[in-house]
Chains A and B, each alone.
Chain A
């Protein structure tokens, strides 16, 4: 089954404790992306990647890191989480930039205390 998977689905952590949210897709997509969703703000792009070893900042990259060492994986790293990073996070992927249609993972709910 074609899908984007994220882990964990739910996470409660404390300020300053490094964490990684994994994202993996099995559709051989070039384009992968991370978003955060906050009430009243819609989805905002954090980072995106056009292909392996190519990453770019989105609208809200501060406090986040990403890497794209393999085509299928695009982990999101919070080196020192803060309460304002409490949010719902989505990973997404698409085949070619021309197609554009993104497929989303199920989301990760993060609470930073």
Chain B
């Protein structure tokens, strides 16, 4: 089974609108971390936001927020007030703490912001 599933290969959003990128995960570990990374066309991987499995509040970093629904095993990224510079690939990732500390990445969502 896939550890991280991103079901949206591509998304479009109008500039200044909000967009939600979906991510579901699969783990039996009680302690894990969830991450989102951005990869612009230049290729570098940029860390956006982190949510720990024991964190009760959703993580926020500027225009990014992580909608963490533990029972549903989802960790959706919400980008508010989209900007042209948000056009990029977005990857959801998970790290299982008690079962080896391995990282798992999803296949990514390509976001295009339309002027």
A contact set with B: CB distance below 8 Å:
31, 33, 35, 40-45, 48, 50, 56, 58-59, 88, 90, 92, 97-98, 100-104, 106-107
Q: Majority SS of interface residues in chain A?
A: strand
What is the interface residue range for chain B against chain A?
20 to 34
Report which of A33, A50, A98, A102 forms a contact with B47, defined as CB distance below 8 A: A102
In the bound assembly, the distance between CA atoms of A101 and B37 in angstroms comes to 10
Given contacts A43-B105, A56-B100, contact A101 B47 (CB under 8 A): yes
- Evaluate contact between A56 and B102: CB separation under 8 angstroms: yes
Nearest CB of A to B9, in Å = 9
Report which of A35, A42, A50, A88 forms a contact with B107, defined as CB distance below 8 A: A42
Say yes or no for B115: interface residue by CB 8 A criterion: no
Nearest CB of A to B27, in Å = 14
In the bound assembly, the distance between CA atoms of A88 and B93 in angstroms comes to 18
* Chain B 39-82 per-residue mask, 1 if CB under 8 angstroms from chain A, else 0: 00001111100101000000000000000000000000000000
Residues of A within 8 A of B12 (CB): none
Q: Which residue of A lies closest to B6 (CB)?
A: A42
Report which of A33, A50, A107 forms a contact with B103, defined as CB distance below 8 A: A33
In the bound assembly, the distance between CA atoms of A35 and B108 in angstroms comes to 15
- Evaluate contact between B50 and A101: CB separation under 8 angstroms: yes
Say yes or no for B101: interface residue by CB 8 A criterion: yes
18 contacting pairs across A/B (C-beta < 8 A): A31-B101, A41-B107, A42-B6, A43-B91, A48-B101, A48-B103, A58-B102, A88-B43, A100-B33, A100-B50, A101-B50, A102-B35, A104-B37, A104-B44, A104-B47, A107-B43, A107-B44, A107-B45
